[in-house]
Structure 1
Amino acid sequence: MSKIYIYSSLLFVTLLWGLNVIATKILVTTFAPVTMTSFRIFTAGIVAFLILFSFKKVKVVSFTQLRYIFIASLFNVVGHHFFLSIGLTKTSASNAGLILGLSPLISVVLATLILKNKLTITKAIGISTGFTGVCFVILNGASNISGISIGDLFIFLSIATQGFSFVMIKKVTSTLDPTIMTAYMLIFGSIILFILSTIVEPDGLSSMRNGSLEVWLIFFASAIFATGISHMIYNRAIQEIGVAESAIFINLIPFFSLIGAVTFLNEKISILQVSGFLFIVIGVLLGSGTLDRRLAIFRNRTLRKETI
């Protein structure tokens, strides 16, 4: 598989993920958010299993693998999507997209704390820069700290729970194909979300009758393409070119979210949000180690040329 094809696929995936923030914003204002999310994730899980079945990759997992998958799904699917769906009912899509862009930095912080990964000066500067960018975003329009949107805090919790799940995923993907794990996580997580929705949204099922044809098209596009297929493509790219190189494209998600919010929701973008976006992107490039890795590759290539 050529790198041009892989890069094009990753660009397409990040476009879908950025616009999916807009799609989810529309869906949570039409349906009961948690109930709708459980159905959307379940649909994505079915799509993921159909793809695996077509490639004859479906397999039964061991009890140990199942335990890690279940724990990871609690954070990666249940926690992440619960806070995301609730948060989007209380904040703008543009703010949500920008805060979600902090996800790689959250993973670095948790990996440092839990997996004892080395924290370099560059990474520390990147983490500080990224969180400064988020402060710009969540303080946008707030005269003081008490004016911060609760929705922004929920969005931040959504990426914090997702980041913790990556620790669990790292423990099991050494023995299990990540695409298979993703499919199981989507199914497990959607079932738990549905059970949770019956508690927090007693009338959630009745709200599912409210959608127009256009809204249902958005629902299935979000479930099938932005959640099911895109995760399979991204996991495939990780296998082909590695985690580090694939993660570079994550930086484009806030950009596509901002463009989508302006285009489809007519949201106004402020100077603070643009500043926050720039700080977050710079922070992720530094904090995730992406810049260090690219510089190391450049230095090695230069040294090889000099020795020839």
Structure 2
Amino acid sequence: MEIPRRDITTDLGLLLIVLIWGVNFSVLKVLLRELDPLALNALRFPMAAVALWILVRRLDGSLKPDPEDLRRIITLGLLGNVAYQLCFIFGVDSTFAGNASLLLATTPVWTLFLSSVAGHERPGGWAIIGVVGTLIGIFMVITGSRDAGTLASPTTRGDLLILIASMLWAMYTVGGQKPVTRYGALRVTAWTLWVATPIIFFMGLPGLMRTDLRAITPEAWI
């Protein structure tokens, strides 16, 4: 049976996303050796905001949501790009890249749970088994690190922050279903990022001002 071309393209796109996210954790660990977590976000968020502005301008045209959706967009921006990013960047800074990638991969489980609570879908038996298996895996990752064991452990704190980040991203995903259906993923992503960028930038500005950008290695800039 021939698989439709569209399905293959979608699968390849998802595989590419997995690859990018897998590399992302290792790259961030390198960057965090040279930059304060908040300073790093203050550098990268404005660049992402400009890149998305160009994409939205060229592909979608419209840059403003309808007034009745503005409150939801702002809430999603604060949830998915401010609260999430704070937990994510400090979590990655404190734990191992492998731990972070595994724990953040639990996002679909929390998304399924929240979507079920919201009445969007009903999980079947296999999905419930998968959730239980994931929860067991979370426990093993957090307690299995070589310096884990107490909340005083930096790795344990980092693992918990990444776990919270995973839940926050699930909330962002479920909460964003309606605006994404109405406006498309690109515009909603751009709007929520623009909400967060000024906050993230000013939070990281003190650390950025203390950073000698000339001392950052070419490896980190690349």
Note the residue ranges of structure 2 that are not aligned, 5 or more in a row: none
Match of 2:159 in 1: 152
Find the partner of 1:29 among 33, 42, 48: 33
Instruction: Please tell me whether residue 180 in structure 1 is matched to residue 187 in structure 2.
Output: yes
Find the partner of 2:219 among 193, 209, 214: 214
Q: Percent identity?
A: 21
Q: Distance in 1 between matches of 2:39 and 2:211?
A: 9
Match of 1:192 in 2: 199
For residues 257-304 of structure 1, the C-alpha deviation after alignment (integer angstroms, 9 at most, x for no partner) is xxxxxxxxxxxxxxxxxxxxxxxxxxxxxxxxxxxxxxxxxxxxxxxx
Q: Contact 1:79–1:162 at 8 Å: present in 2 too?
A: no
Match of 1:82 in 2: 86
| Residue type at the aligned position of 2:179 | V
Aligned length: 214
Deviation at 1:113, TM superposition (A): 2.4
Pick closer, same or farther for the CA change 1:56–1:169 going to 2, 3 Å. Answer: closer
Match of 2:178 in 1: 171
Q: Contact 2:114–2:171 at 8 Å: present in 1 too?
A: yes
| Residue type at the aligned position of 2:64 | V
Deviation at 1:124, TM superposition (A): 2.0
Find the partner of 2:169 among 159, 162, 165: 162
Note the residue ranges of structure 1 that are not aligned, 5 or more in a row: 218-308
Q: Distance in 1 between matches of 2:39 and 2:28?
A: 13
Q: Distance in 2 between matches of 1:32 and 1:61?
A: 34
For residues 78-128 of structure 1, the C-alpha deviation after alignment (integer angstroms, 9 at most, x for no partner) is 111111111111111011011111110011112222346424332222111
Q: Contact 1:52–1:180 at 8 Å: present in 2 too?
A: yes
TM normalised by structure 1 equals 0.63
Following TM superposition, the consecutive aligned residue runs of length 4 or more in structure 1 with deviations greater than 6 angstroms are none
TM normalised by structure 2 equals 0.86
Match of 1:20 in 2: 24
Q: Distance in 2 between matches of 1:68 and 1:39?
A: 26
Residue correspondence of structure 1 range 50-69 to structure 2 within 5 A: 50-69=54-73
Q: Distance in 2 between matches of 1:187 and 1:38?
A: 13
Q: What CA RMSD, in Å, does the superposition of the two structures yield over aligned residues?
A: 2.2
Match of 1:284 in 2: none
Q: Distance in 2 between matches of 1:208 and 1:63?
A: 42
